Structure 1
Amino acid sequence: MRLRSAVRRHPVVVFFVLTYAIAWGVLPFGTFGAYAPLVAALVVAPLCRGRAGLVELGRRLVRWRVPWWCYLLAIGVPLAVHLLAVLLRGEVSTIAWAAAGDVLLVALVRLVNPGDGPLGEEPGWRGFALPGMQARLSPLASTSILAVLVTAWHLPIAFLVGGDVVTTLVGLVVGTVAVTFWYSWLFDHARGSVLLVLVAHAVEGAVQDDTLLYFGLWLAVAVVLVVADLRWWRRPAPAEATWSRPEHGVIL
């Protein structure tokens, strides 16, 4: 009863603690628990909100009735960032272009694989944590906090992939912070749809390249989104992008 009471009082805090514990707990075995946010959300949501918590999380995962342009941006923005990086590097004549079918297949696999980034992370980051924080904080404040926590959570990956650790860390930090702002903007404008963010994340992962230029372009996208839509970032989040019972979904 005491544990459940603590979870009810600070559900988002408990979610992050559990997410870090699960993902980092397997590091001694040479792996990283990318599925941790999904597991943590499935554990904390019913503890703090009962069956209603799981139902609301599930509805976000299948919410497909959103403005048509959200689908266009979810797919088009990652592709545009990738193509622009290729053009700026001057690799148009030498790059081995992947067939559209191959990119689609990779994206679909990532979309349904709970051990991969999109399905393993988005139900937790955007499905549980962000709506909880936005119940009391503005989208800008919520996303800034989320960007720091999500980026720190990813840092051990730089030491697992090998290669130049410093370059990998810089790219990881810049890229993760940038796409966190992009995903938050898309999530809120898509009426709190985790499905749309899943699609965007899966497409981005299917075309991603690990260059600083690529991650720098994502940073530029984030800056444009904040500067061009600053008034929206400072307003209360849309009702669909917060928990239906704010008192059980805050980080404070």
Structure 2
Amino acid sequence: MRVIRSHPLVAFFVLAFVIAWALVPFGSFGAFGPLVAALVVVPISRGRAGLAELGRRMVRWRVRWYWWALALTLPLAVHGAAVVVTGPSAGVPFASASVGTVVALFLLRLVDPFDGPLGEEPGWRGVAVPGMAARLSPLAATSILAVVITVWHLPLAFLGEDDPWSAVAFIVVGTVGVTFWYSWLFAHTGGSVLLCLVAHSVEGALPNETLVYVGIWLVVAVVLVVIDRRWWVGATSPLLSAPI
């Protein structure tokens, strides 16, 4: 308990890894690790006030309409661009999916704690980003977090994959790209985990397993850094709430 109170961010990362990776020997992966880690660390380190702040971030929906539009449409645009470049293929199973199928998957991912969006966003964005941005510039904090989340995902490359090293490349490139996108969206919506949850759910509702797809996300990350360079290199982010 004292260790968690003294080093809440480190405790969060350790728990997120331990919970997720503990299932790997059984052929599974605990995508809910960051969510559980957040729900353990936040009450111990910050009490009810910290838990209430995390809850507010998870339901923070009052943002300008264009942030909602961007959260919903940018993942679709990236997917569409990848399909245009590569064409429908085995790596793009939902390239011609019906609207109903996409909407159903989107809604399921919004509420399923065992899936990536709800299992990850309350932890990575709700706890890690504010905690790191309080001490580092957004660029430094996001760069470090991108490495952490990439390593956290790596066991997935060796769970039932025919070509694990291609899966590693996919995870590395894709995770870095979307981490910059989610950090930027989180900060510019006043610390809304909900908007990141929505964006993550849209992104996963149209899975695309091509390197072109994740490469486009990396391009998106570079564009965001270039067009908003002054914010990225600032001492700390004025757009984030106090860290949990």
Q: TM-score, normalised by structure 2?
A: 0.94
> For 2:71 and 2:95, how far apart are their aligned partners in 1?
24
Cα deviation for residue 239 of structure 1 reads 4.7
Residue by residue over 1:174-200, the C-alpha shift from the partner in whole angstroms, topping out at 9 and shown as x without a partner, is 000110000000000111000000000
Matches within 5 A, 1:27-176: 27-91=24-88, 97-176=96-175
Which aligned segments of 4 or more residues in structure 1 are displaced greater than 4 angstroms?
none
> For 2:34 and 2:225, how far apart are their aligned partners in 1?
26
> For 2:142 and 2:5, how far apart are their aligned partners in 1?
22
> For 2:112 and 2:12, how far apart are their aligned partners in 1?
21
Corresponding residue of 2:237: 237
Would the aligned equivalents of 1:191 and 1:238 in 2 still touch at CA under 8 Å?
no
Q: Secondary structure at the match of 2:149?
A: helix
Cα deviation for residue 13 of structure 1 reads 0.5
Residue by residue over 1:202-246, the C-alpha shift from the partner in whole angstroms, topping out at 9 and shown as x without a partner, is 000011210000010101000100111111111221354442xxx
> For 1:66 and 1:196, how far apart are their aligned partners in 2?
9
Matches within 5 A, 1:179-218: 179-218=178-217
> For 1:239 and 1:224, how far apart are their aligned partners in 2?
20
RMSD after superposition = 1.4
> For 1:239 and 1:70, how far apart are their aligned partners in 2?
14
Cα deviation for residue 136 of structure 1 reads 1.3
Residue by residue over 1:37-68, the C-alpha shift from the partner in whole angstroms, topping out at 9 and shown as x without a partner, is 00000000011001111101000000000121
Q: Secondary structure at the match of 1:151?
A: helix
Paired letter, 1:168: A
Corresponding pairs, count: 239
> For 1:146 and 1:82, how far apart are their aligned partners in 2?
24
Paired letter, 2:237: A
> For 2:153 and 2:241, how far apart are their aligned partners in 1?
24
Do the aligned partners of residues 21 and 134 (structure 1) sit closer, same or farther apart at CA in structure 2, a change above 3 Å counting?
same
Q: Secondary structure at the match of 2:80?
A: helix
Corresponding residue of 1:246: none
Would the aligned equivalents of 1:63 and 1:195 in 2 still touch at CA under 8 Å?
yes
Paired letter, 2:19: I
> For 2:239 and 2:69, how far apart are their aligned partners in 1?
23
Matched, 1:15 2:42: no
Paired letter, 1:63: R
Unaligned segments of structure 2, at least 5 residues: none
Identity across the alignment (%): 61
Corresponding residue of 2:218: 219
> For 2:31 and 2:205, how far apart are their aligned partners in 1?
16
Do the aligned partners of residues 96 and 237 (structure 1) sit closer, same or farther apart at CA in structure 2, a change above 3 Å counting?
closer
> For 1:79 and 1:86, how far apart are their aligned partners in 2?
11
> For 1:80 and 1:220, how far apart are their aligned partners in 2?
13
Paired letter, 1:165: P
> For 1:42 and 1:124, how far apart are their aligned partners in 2?
8
Q: TM-score, normalised by structure 1?
A: 0.92
Paired letter, 1:98: A
